[in-house]
Amino acid sequence: MTNESTYQAASKVAGTIEGHFQKHLAAAKANGEEDLATMPDEAIIEKMIDVAFWASLRREEGNPTRISLAFLQPCQAGRPLLFEQRLPLTVKVLTKLAPGVGRAGIHIGVWFDGTELYIWGTTMRLPNYCFVLDVSEPGLLVVKHRRIVGLGKFTNVAVLKGDQVQVVDENSGLLPDTPAILTSLLGLNSSPLWNDPVNVLIQIAVSMRSHMRGGILLVTPSGNDHWRDSIIHPLQYPVFPAFGGVADLIRQDGSKVTEIYWQTALRREVENVTGLTAVDGATIINDQHELMAFGAKITRAARSTPVDQMLMTEPVVGGIPMLVHPSSIGGTRHFSAAQFIHDQNGALALVASQDGYFTVFSWSEKAQMVQAHRIDILLL
């Protein structure tokens, strides 16, 4: 294959990405896992990234190119949509195809004939650890793969934005007191259960980020009402009894409903709750995913002290945990969330910014301080 990539970030990161897939596929084979994808080599990864990047800068009838490429053979794709003739993997072809294949869950199938890469059709089914390259917006590419359990959001490997490259550091999930939402996104403890509360919380985070209005979601322990000490009263929009749209779905017996039904119902209920996070103030749910209030104003508890520092982390290679003041990473939302976790150690705070940044605040028992985890790289 002739490889003349002009997008320098493609050649910079291709080897690292190959190493990631090589490591995980080898481990999966050793564990006896089945339905595993074929690993693309460095040259194939570089070529796919290069073509996808330049396609991302093109528009078709005024609309930006948004597509998902997957490296696999048709025989690995279940019941794929096959083109009668192969199409070359070029910027022009991807731009023309984009309007018809841009919906979530549809992937353009790409394979290699020993000389060049080509497009054979589309698929909605992927084997485990299949290399996927999403064109999210102009100049923004995300390399990811399907989770081994085949459930929930794909695991992100790297994000390329213009000349900036961020590679996900899986080892960051091994730090003390790392919240479950982060370790699950990193693929360290993903649950195969469709109604796993952490998998549902990830869908809530993705939905919060997608409305691009910013917001705060507070997740509090269900066994007490201590969270009320850190909220200004009276509550502006209290919910009584607690609304259990999402919680009721989690409690359903998986043997009595289909996965498609559950996913559709969950998407509807998640959007119902996360839409409320766009209202000024915090939305409050408990750890059973029951909605208790929205538009709530956070305040420092009477028994507490002001939060003056926290540990800031980002799960990227080269990222170093830093002690910072809460005001240094954002505005009022971030400071309020940090103060809430400082007062309510058993809670979790999810903060979405209007610019796409997403931060999870949790309490570290070992460090005895608030931790702020910047996880937007894992939600793309």
pLDDT by residue (tens digit) across 315-340? 999 888 899 999 888 889 999 999 99
Q: What is the mean pLDDT of the chain?
A: 91
Q: Supply the pLDDT for residue 4.
A: 66
Mean pLDDT over 345-374 rounds to 95
pLDDT band per the 50, 70, 90 thresholds, residue 1: low
**Residue 306 pLDDT:** 94
pLDDT at residue 62, rounded to an integer: 84
pLDDT score of 254: 63
% residues pLDDT > 90 (the chain): 72
**Do 289 and 200 touch, CB atoms closer than 8 A?**
yes
Pairing of β 67-71 and β 107-112 = parallel
Query: In terms of pLDDT, which residue wins out, 160 or 331?
Result: 160
CATH number of 174-378, picked from 3.40.50.10420, 2.170.120.20, 3.30.230.70, 3.40.1700.10? 3.40.1700.10
Q: Is the pLDDT of residue 173 over 90?
A: no
Task: Write down the pLDDT at residue 196.
Answer: 81
151, pLDDT greater than 60: no
- CA atoms 138, 204, 292, 372: torsion sign: negative
For residue 134, pLDDT beyond 60: yes
Which of residues 292 and 172 earns the better pLDDT score? 292
Q: What burial class does residue 133 get, using C-beta atoms within 10 Å of its C-beta: 0-12 exposed, 13-18 middle, 19+ buried? A: buried
- The mean per-residue pLDDT over the stretch 206-235 comes to 94
Residue 191's pLDDT is 66
Q: Give residue 95's pLDDT.
A: 95
| % of the chain beyond a pLDDT of 70 | 94
Stretch 201-218: mean pLDDT: 93
pLDDT at residue 148, rounded to an integer: 63
Pairing mode of beta strands 107-112, 155-161: unpaired
**What per-residue confidence (pLDDT) applies to 260?**
72
Alpha-helix runs per DSSP H in the chain: 8-30, 42-56, 91-101, 180-185, 197-210, 245-251, 259-274, 332-343, 376-379
The predicted pLDDT at position 255 comes to: 65
Q: How many residues can be counted in the chain?
A: 380
Ordered by start, the domain boundaries in the chain are 8-167, 174-378
Question: What are the residues whose beta carbons fall under 8 Å from the beta carbon of 202, sequence distance 6 or more?
Answer: 152, 153, 181, 184, 185
- β-pairing, 369-374 vs 310-313, is parallel
**In the predicted model, is pLDDT for residue 6 greater than 60?**
yes
117-123 vs 81-88, strand pairing mode: antiparallel
Residue 223, pLDDT above cutoff 90: no
pLDDT at 193: 66
CA distance 276 to 207: 11
Model confidence, pTM: 0.88
Query: 266: pLDDT confidence band, cut at 50, 70 and 90?
Result: confident
